[in-house]
A and B are shown apart, each in its own frame.
Chain A
Amino acid sequence: MANIAAQRIKREFKEVIKSEEVAKCAIRVELLNDCYTELRGEIAGPPDTPYEGGTFVLDIKVPETYPFNPPKVKFLTKIWHPNISSVTGAICLDILKDQWAAAMTLRTVLLSLQALLSAAEPDDPQDAVVAKQYKENNEMFQITARHWTNVYAGGPNVNKDCDDKIKTLADMGVEEHQARVALSSYDWELQRATEQLFS
């Protein structure tokens, strides 16, 4: 790895550890290997959003050309968000693509992602199904996102209705996550989700 990239990650790593956001448990960074190319990030779900109370784990890969090119970041924790793929965790955020600037750091990237959780951009979606629900049935989107936060990110809000419907499908032999995806995509209508799963 180019020297400048490793040097910078080292410095940034110290900066993140000292930052006040870490003290408030809003963000966290861990090293995965000694050569500073792979890191694990963590962000707390912002308050007053369906993601509140959840902890979202991110996979951060630092390219050799860092900081001239952005780090590759994706969600490892499954999340229901218009700009994040519910399948792969890929993120649609301009600063991770063409709007990247060399003075941005791990800290600012994590804070930007946290901001993305509080302010979705449904007109520039990564996950079309989620974006459609966000725009057309926002109430259902909130319920779904809160449920996913509860199940995958350790959020506190249990939704009995969702759990029951998933259980119904699971009893029919559908894998739990598959059932959750089908129900989430069809606004929690058991009938349509079942049809889609068994068609």
Chain B
Amino acid sequence: MSGVTENLKSSQEPNKERQDPDSSDTPDEEKKDDRIFECNICLDTAKDAVVSMCGHLFCWPCLHQWLETRPNRQVCPVCKASISKEKVVPLYGRGSSKQEDPREKVPPRPAGQRTEPEPGSAFSGFGFADNGFHMSFGIGAFPFGFFTSTFNFGDARPTAAARGTQQHMEEQFLSKIFLWMAILFVAWLLLA
């Protein structure tokens, strides 16, 4: 019986596409690509898409209803990781939001949270950067500061970039430039 129903459906589909000029334009491959953007709850292409911290995609109205259904047991419908309204990330595609009707009952999708980019990391300022307190004592005239001691409180400078990344290479390059500048400066002082 189930096989028969399936056959009936597939035989109806070509007619449907002929009536609808828009759908006949979309090739089948594109439809297959859409499947990876299916909401895990309604199994349709995700509208007002949000993504959980565990990486699962949902329509916001669907996920909202799921969270409302079980207020005291908020878990991801796919992997049962703990989730919450505050911790979902909205996905903004290009020009997708205008087609939808505003949903009255569903609260608006949580807004994306934007953190400011970190300041350039190669040279992080003169001692007071990044909330840390740096203090230096020096005895003697530069460059002969042999008795120099340095105190750093609450040192929160950014950690070094991982080896092999673009940032790491840039940092290495900059530190070499500063080293050569220092050597040239010392040489100039000695010669002058």
Contact = CB atoms under 8 A, between A and B. Distances in A.
Interface of A: 4, 7-8, 11-14, 16-17, 22, 28-31, 65, 67-69, 98, 101-104
B37 interface: no
Q: How large is the interface on B (under 10, 10 to 19, 20 to 34, 35 or more residues)?
A: 20 to 34
A102 B80 CA distance: 10
B42 A103 contact: no
Contacts of A14: 6, 9
A40 to B, nearest CB: 9
A8 B41 CA distance: 8
A19 B19 CA distance: 30
Contacts of A31: 1-2, 5
Contacts of A12: 43
Interface stretch (B61-69, B120-128, B173-181): B61-69
B129 interface: no
Interface stretch (B70-78, B101-109, B132-140): B70-78
- Determine the main DSSP class of A at the interface with B: mixed
A22 B1 CA distance: 13
B44 interface: yes
- Determine the main DSSP class of B at the interface with A: loop
Given A22-B2, A29-B2, A103-B41, 16 more contacts: A4-B42, A7-B42, A7-B44, A11-B43, A17-B2, A30-B1, A65-B69, A67-B42, A68-B41, A68-B65, A101-B76, A101-B78, A102-B40, A102-B66, A102-B77, A103-B56
Contacts of A30: 1-2
B6 A17 contact: yes
A83 B78 CA distance: 25
A8 B73 contact: no
Contacts of B43: 7-8, 11-12
B41 A102 contact: yes
B77 A101 contact: yes
B78 A103 contact: yes
Contacts of B27: none
Given A7-B44, A12-B43, A68-B69, A103 B77 contact: yes
Given A11-B43, A17-B3, A68-B65, A101 B73 contact: no
B60 to A, nearest CB: 14
A103 B6 contact: no
A29 B6 CA distance: 12
Contacts of A69: 69
Nearest to A31: B5
Given A68-B66, A68-B69, A103 B2 contact: no
Considering residues A4, A13, A103, A104, which has the most beta carbons from chain B within 10 angstroms of its beta carbon? A103
Nearest 7 Cβ contacts at the A-B interface: A102-B77, A103-B77, A103-B78, A68-B69, A103-B40, A101-B77, A11-B43
Contact of B73 (A67, A98, A103): A98
Given A101-B80, A103-B77, A103-B78, A8 B42 contact: yes
Contact of A102 (B1, B5, B62, B73): B62
A53 B63 CA distance: 41
A108 B179 CA distance: 63
29 contacts: A4-B42, A7-B42, A8-B42, A8-B43, A11-B44, A13-B5, A14-B6, A14-B9, A16-B2, A17-B2, A17-B6, A31-B2, A31-B5, A65-B69, A67-B42, A68-B66, A68-B69, A98-B73, A101-B75, A101-B77, A101-B78, A102-B40, A102-B41, A102-B66, A102-B77, A103-B40, A103-B41, A103-B77, A104-B77
